[in-house]
Structure 1
């Protein structure tokens, strides 16, 4: 995978020390800037330095809240085990305002913003750039300029998501005196200003695939998507301060104002104007995507038929996916938190294991896995896994007991180090797997929602259908795609698109913000908790629970045994196999083929050969059906060498972890009284103290 190189001598002027909490204010002389930006290639080297910072930008808040705090995604440890569970769960208790993840995100976003502003001002002064703008065609100068504008807009988008109304400046800060008058700016001003700047820049940027621009750089395709996203955010419901002046903007409100921490859950009354703008720019993406596309066919040949999984396999092959609109590029042997944190777990050690340790920070709710995915949905087994890698080239059953690695409940399966084309075993967190931050399916479903919200149901159904279709085999299209979509209209269509995003993007950190913007975060929190409680109660009472939406059953116990899959089929590789159509539990291959997309790497043959042949792969029965522990089938399985293994019973034994601790900061009483959800992070103390009183804390957070 091509990586971005950094020439430290060229960009050193941008790697200056902070004289303020969140701004780099030491700047070069004009002579230095003229030298650095002597050519577009020199400016690109500086932009590459920004991309190098981008590898870590947002990773910590994404890790702490976004990919673990929705109605599909959760954390693996006990609530009390980590401070990060407090903001993830909407602040059941007060919180350190200088918490490392939020403080670092604040600081890093503003550092990048100021460096982008320096670039933007310097390039704007160039006669060559001015001539290229006048010519009206993309050029290397206008491209690198647009990349800086896109980076700045993305940083402001993140700041508003996490902190609400924040300081805004679109000019270079070169002295601390320039920060003396900076106060909080309305997010409305931020959205409008950044959208306007990006609209102008996007017209003169290359689309993906043009002039060697791939998805590891910001393209005109990405710029249009960010405009769409910022407009969509501006149209959505958010938490707003009641002690802040939003000028002439009026709001539609859900629930009541919270007088204690002075906030309300609202959207702009003119939200449709922004939703139309989002639709326009999302259409620009899908109608003029450059080389980006939704992967609708699996091109890997016989035995492969899952275009959804194909997208993630590109990442594991260390290739840029054609579905990507932006991937943050990582270098093998140096960095990559993917899949360590967001893939299939491994109990291996820190180095030279098969595979090395994968913590598994993001997990999947059992009620989502069992109750939302119909069995025919090809995304289910790709999204969540029921077995972990042992770290010694074999499978290990996931344990619902709180913890990490094989513990912590159902984990993510979109990335799996055993599934890499060339697995990297030398050290953990060094796989080189890119972070796919934006892909075409995400944009298409946002476009569908924006279209439905503004009354264009035909367009909404077109893109909902396109994304949903690839999740089902041909024989299932009529029931689960055509008839399903055709029956939708009005609010039911909006709800279906929101649900489709939950299915499509689970484990990618998108759903929490969707819940916020759609205005249904409170009801989805309560629905999740009620559903989990019903499941646990069913397990306690009956030993199983069947989800009415899908007819799929989770049981307290399942039956497992190690097998040598080569005895079944010498060519079989479970990592690349999905459940064959029509396979039933009585089929002798069922226990090893259901669920699909698991197993261990055949490339570890030399290591596997040192293991007993029956300690590599697991055969599983009872995962989706209830088997009476005292019944005939259980006795038969045990006679065949299967062992009764704890499954849902471990949720009973950790009941609060799976019920009352869910979104602990938003109890049922809050929902009953219409309280707004408090998801906003605190502003760091140094920013407050150095602002001369112009920047104030909100949302009930402490000021020091």
Structure 2
């Protein structure tokens, strides 16, 4: 992974002058000749490197604060009251500082990139070399640079609308503060439409992935086509809209009632199908112009792996660009990297020189999702969520539903794990060098399937739905869980099934919250989540267990664990860290307690050379994860006679009941759902922008203005 850096001082000066602070606090540009620094495509790429250098951190803060922890599959690990960031994540049960330390930088950095892109685009528009390349009508170095700048700008506007609603829009450089004095909010409809039209002209002249030396660490035409699809999909979807803002001639379909207190409604455009058709067509173009990108459908690593879904994430952990990626933000080992520190398998290690070092585990998985949505033969379940974490001392440790971090906080993500790196990195936390995969082919294909189904093209919808779902099940399961499952659905049932598939496929990747919003399903999915969690808690209280009717999977108050030496006690050939659970294994098999669930354990790289680590204190055998074992019954007594120890599991959910029931989406209680209130997810505009706008930009959605 190569981290792009500034190369020329002149380039550095050029890209740091405009919009250095807030976009309404523009500083005058330097004396650098912009045409000079764009004298060749190579020089222009150096200017773009300044944009990519910001991109490593762009959106990370709000992604961390809300997107990857605020859905009906994903949650945070700490007590609700312990972190103020849980207020916006939970839809504002109380008011929040408008200059939130995560929202304000996102606003500023997006507009900083937008203005830099506008400077680049204007400069290129004035160059004969670019105009000749454009006229030629085929991708070239010049048209690729132009496309990258436009794609970066459009992606920033996509993020701004997602988080802030209607925002200021400009597609020209801001060089003086006077240019912003009359700049107000622009309807998101105009933002979407203008960026889509601009991209339609430019993206066909960009290189596909694999062409022109491009990999997925740069914006390509492949990503550009998907971005058009994404913007059109967003434009077609339900969003929170202000009732004190003029949206012109656009009419809306509304869900529920208007909220008169914070003046907003939950609506989508009445002509949404026009945009959804555009989304389908351009997602198809992304798939058809994929270049070297592809859905990973087979696993060539051997029979014990047998999981093409996990293979995608292993590329990231091997510090390689995944062939499934359309775009991943590149990091360099030894520099700041939040992946997998925040969004991977937790570790209780120290900040430095741990096995592995500390991994906090910001993204967690609801027990009702893990037990109630994944079929037990779905290969994605164990790769998505972990029941054991890393102790930090080269051994497993049982996850704990008591609120907290590291091994506490409940089920955590397992798509990334520093123990699973090809060359495990122990030196320091947050410096693993693992890339942030921001868009992958399965994401695109499922969006394509949804858009196709929503516009009546069920043949296309089922084709791509099956492609993604197929790799999650074994050959023996294809007929029942893929072919019959998909073919048996039509109309709204098909649309809902695709939405559910995205939830299964993309859990822990920060996509589900926005899906819930756009589908118009956020209120009912919040209510369903809370009801399922409450039913689970009541079952645990009453019976000591709860069985989810959708999957037949059982969660119990207690499990039984013991450390084992798998090399001498079980099977020296076992690789628990990278092993798929064998199909059909039952509790009668002596290997069951260490093979179920799969994709856990620790790195042999560590256990083979840490001489002070007892070999019988590394791997954890577990019983009771998916079956009820009576604590006073014969099975429990037999397990305890074998050295197993009873450990709290669901019991800690009961002990922290509000964390897992009433504190879920605390800003959207059941009374809101009954009344048809809109979900309040949009963030506040920073105070500096309001103060410098001369009244042209006003706060909405009930947020304070100072």
Report TM bin, short chain.
Answer: over 0.9
**Pairing 1:203-352 to 2, within 5 Å after superposition:** 203-352=204-353
Who is 1:87 aligned against? 88
**2:123 alignment counterpart:** 122
Root mean square deviation, CA, Å: 1.0
Could you say which residue in structure 1 is the equivalent of 2:698?
696
Q: Residue 168 of structure 1 aligns with which residue? A: 169
Verify: 1:421 aligned to 2:399, yes or no: no
Match of 1:6 in 2: 6
Partner of 1:559, secondary structure, is strand
1:590 pairs with one of 575, 589, 592: 592
Instruction: Quote the residue 2:143 is aligned against.
Output: 142
Assess, with a 3 A threshold, how the Cα gap between structure 1 residues 593 and 606 changes in structure 2: closer, same or farther: closer
- Is the CA contact (8 Å cut-off) linking 1:241 and 1:698 kept in structure 2? yes
Q: Secondary structure at the match of 2:33?
A: helix
User: Aligned partners of 2:607, 2:176: CA distance in 1, in Å?
Assistant: 60
What's the offset of the Cα at 1:11? 2.5
Secondary structure of 1:171's partner?
coil
Q: TM-score, normalised by structure 2?
A: 0.99
Shift of 1:335: 1.8
Residue 507 (structure 1) aligned with residue 508 (structure 2): yes
Instruction: Evaluate the alpha carbon distance shift between residue 617 and residue 581 of structure 1 in structure 2; reply closer, same or farther with a 3 A threshold.
Output: same
Corresponding residue to 1:626 among 628, 650, 663: 628
Report the Cα distance in structure 2 between the residues aligned to 1:589 and 1:19, rounded to whole angstroms.
59
Instruction: Give the unaligned 5+ runs of structure 2.
Output: none
State how far apart, in whole Å, the 1-side matches of 2:164 and 2:300 are.
Answer: 43
1:203 Cα offset (Å): 1.0
Q: Aligned partners of 2:342 and 2:60: how far apart in 1?
A: 10
Mean CA deviation greater in 16-25 or 151-160: 16-25
Deviations 1:198-225 (A, max 9, x none): 1111011000000111000000000000
8 Å CA contact 2:470, 2:478 repeated in 1: yes
Contact 1:345 1:406 survives alignment (8 Å): yes
Q: How far off is 1:623 after superposition? A: 0.4
> Given the superposition, is the C-alpha separation of residues 114 and 284 from structure 1 closer, same or farther in structure 2, using an over 3 Å criterion?
same
* Distance in 1, Cα, partners of 2:69 & 2:607: 35
Deviation at 1:26, TM superposition (A): 3.2
User: How far does residue 614 in structure 1 lie from its aligned partner after superposition?
Assistant: 1.2
**Counterpart Cα distance in 2 of 1:29 and 1:533:** 60
Residue of structure 2 in register with 1:464 after alignment: 465
- 1:8 deviates by 4.9
Q: Could you list the per-position Cα deviations for residues 511-569 of structure 1 after superposition, in whole angstroms to 9, with x for gaps in the alignment? A: 00000000010000000000000000000000000000000000000000000111222
Distance 1:81 1:607 in 2: 39
- Comparing 300-309 with 223-232, which one deviates more in the overlay? 300-309
Deviation at 1:606, TM superposition (A): 4.6
Match of 1:100, SS state, is coil
The one of 595, 599, 602 aligned to 1:600: 602
Distance apart, 1:2 and its partner CA: 3.7
Report whether the alignment pairs 1:104 with 2:81.
no
CA distance in 1, matches of 2:464, 2:49: 34
Aligned partners of 2:699, 2:24: CA distance in 1, in Å? 19
Whether the aligned pair in 1 keeps the contact of 2:19 and 2:174 (CA below 8 Å) is no
Deviation at 1:608, TM superposition (A): 3.6
Aligned length, in residue pairs: 704
Counterparts of 1:685 and 1:476, CA distance in 2? 55
CA distance in 2, matches of 1:389, 1:532: 27
Note if 1:525 corresponds to 2:526. yes
Helix, strand or coil for the counterpart of 2:102?
A: helix
For residues 59-78 of structure 1, what are the structure 2 equivalents within 5 Å? 59-78=60-79
Distance 1:448 1:261, change over 3 A: same
Q: Aligned partners of 2:35 and 2:114: how far apart in 1?
A: 20
Aligned to 1:479: 480
Alpha-carbon distance in 2 for matches of 1:268, 1:606: 60
C-alpha distance in structure 2 between counterparts of 1:14 and 1:4, whole Å: 14
Contact 1:577 1:597 in 2 (8 A): yes
> Is contact 2:24-2:689 (8 Å) kept?
no
Q: Counterpart of 2:33?
A: 32
**Residues 563 and 617, structure 1, Cα contact 8 Å, conserved in 2:** yes
Whole-angstrom distance in 1 between the partners of 2:560 and 2:607: 27
8 Å contact 2:380–2:505 — kept in the other structure? yes
Deviations 1:137-182 (A, max 9, x none): 1111110110000000000000000000000000000000101010
Kindly state the Cα deviation for residue 12 of structure 1 after the two structures are TM-superposed. 2.2
Deviations along 1:619-639, whole A, 9 cap, x unmatched? 000100000000000000000
Structure 1 CA distance for aligned equivalents of residues 115 and 609 of structure 2: 51
Name 1:41's counterpart in structure 2: 42
User: What residue is the counterpart of 2:683 in the other structure?
Assistant: 681
- Mapped partners of 1:561, 1:200: distance in 2: 62
SS at match of 1:239: strand
> With structure 1 as the length reference, what TM-score do the two structures score?
0.99
2:304–2:580 CA contact under 8 A, matched in 1: no
Contact 1:552 1:624 in 2 (8 A): yes
| Distance in 1 (alpha carbons) for counterparts of 2:3 and 2:296 | 23
Q: 1:580-628 CA distances to partner (integer Å, 9 max, x unpaired)?
A: 0110011100000000000000111354432112110000001000000
1:23 deviates by 5.2
Contact 2:160 2:167 in 1 (8 A): yes
Change (3 A) 1:30 1:8: closer
Give the secondary-structure state (helix, strand or coil) at the position aligned to 1:256: strand
How many angstroms apart in 1 are the aligned matches of 2:405 and 2:542?
Answer: 28
C-alpha displacement of 1:5 = 3.4
